[in-house]
Amino acid sequence: MRHIDQLFDLTGQVAIVTGGAAGIGAQMAYALGEAGANLVLAARKIERCQKEAEKMTQELQIDVLPVRCNVTKVEDIDALYDQVMNRFGRVDILINNSGATWGAPSLEYDLEGWKKVIDTNVTGTWLMCQRAGRVMAKQKYGRIINVASLAAFVGAAPEIMDAVAYQTSKAAVAGLTKDLAVKWAIHNITVNAIAPGWFPSKMTSATLDTKGEAMTRFIPMKRFGGEDELKTATLFLASPGAGYCTGVILSVDGGWVAV
């Protein structure tokens, strides 16, 4: 029987976190780095990745690789995995956190906005999963965590959130997670998702600033998520100890979807 320290130890593992240089992505990256994993921070803005990588390297004493990557572009994803394999030779954990949103009334929703959200949140997540899955299947080990949302499970009144493509995309991420969990279990790859509620970030700041009071009425805990309240969920699903847990969508939302 393994000791609890072993079940949560990620020393020597390699974790890719898309959108890992800011917001909840950085919070999740810290969770893995603090448990000993070496990190790959991927985002469209390389300067932000480089700055966060330098900070994490100094604080956590791990190897952190910053990579510019737009997950809607196959060539960027291929280049990302080439860099990771050249540097580390393996991929143990993937967190798909890159995301986009577009707000507009549903009867007037722009097709370009729709495509932007779906291409990033759904197609980008799928492409990253597929590429990681190929590496993990050869290793006979892997942990994939997709970032869904409470929006995957509930509709939203337009005065709270008028972003139909985002709601749709996160439901698709939940479906993709469950299907890959079944298909890849034979390779000892677990595929799970975290469904965050509202956490302060650059993406959510405008909404929280203008609609925060109304939104907290839907949250039984009457507050938004904190700066470290995704870390334990992330570590659990990424850990060796979660080997019998797959196809799970874990809500971290203050009780919103329980209402």
Q: Among 30, 141, 166, 244, which one carries the catalytic annotation?
A: 166
Buried b (16+ CB within 10 A) or exposed e, 220-247: eeeebbeeebbbebbbbbbbebbeeebe
Measure the CA–CA gap between 247 and 100, rounded to whole angstroms: 23
How far lies 68's CA from each of 44, 50, 58, 79, 126, in Å? 5, 9, 21, 9, 18
What lies within 8 Å, CB to CB, of 92 at 6+ separation is: 10, 13, 14, 15, 37, 136, 139, 141, 142, 143
166 is catalytic: yes
Identify the H or E element spanning 223: none
CA angle, corner 104, sides to 103 and 107, nearest 5?
145
Contact indicator for 85, 59 with CB cutoff of 8 Å = no
Which residues are known to be catalytic?
166
